[in-house]
Amino acid sequence: NAGVTQTPKFQVLKTGQSMTLQCAQDMNHEYMSWYRQDPGMGLRLIHYSVGAGITDQGEVPNGYNVSRSTTEDFPLRLLSAAPSQTSVYFCASSSGALSSYEQYFGPGTRLTVT
């Protein structure tokens, strides 16, 4: 099992550019989510999905889009990058089952917007 994988590990964008952060998991987890981590702010939820075809907004969704066409993949799209989106992005998945309920995190993508 690779667990949760994220690509790329690092990315530099110019203001206004668009890009997609990739996230994949091979554990057949129903729940997937995207967080951003900023100094002193902890992890803030951007978007999440409770299954293929179902997504919802988290705490800080503006400027980001997601889709969930398969159970395995949950890409995060930045439509027009802004310096405020400079952050470390983590993707996570969980089975949602009460007996587990553990979130498995990817290694993160460090994004800089200039």
Residue ranges in contact with other proteins by CB under 8 A: 4, 31, 33, 35, 40-45, 48, 50, 56, 58-59, 90, 92, 94, 96, 98, 101-103, 105-108
Burial of residue 14, with CB atoms counted within 10 A of its CB: 0-12 exposed, 13-18 middle, 19 or more buried = exposed
Name the one residue in this structure whose structure tokens are 């993707």.
91
Give 17 or 107: the residue with its C-beta nearer to other proteins: 107
Give 15 or 57: the residue with its C-beta nearer to other proteins: 57
Min dist CB 109 to other proteins, Å, is 11
CB atoms within 10 A of CB 33: 24
Pairing of strands 31-38, 54-57: unpaired
Min dist CB 41 to other proteins, Å, is 6
Min dist CB 37 to other proteins, Å, is 9
Give 17 or 50: the residue with its C-beta nearer to other proteins: 50
Give 3 or 16: the residue with its C-beta nearer to other proteins: 3
Q: Classify each residue of 36-74 as buried b or exposed e, where b means 16 or more C-beta atoms within 10 Å of its C-beta.
A: beeeeeebebbbbbeebeebeebebbeebebebeebbeb
Query: Which residue(s) pair with 66 in the sheet?
Result: 76
Min dist CB 81 to other proteins, Å, is 23
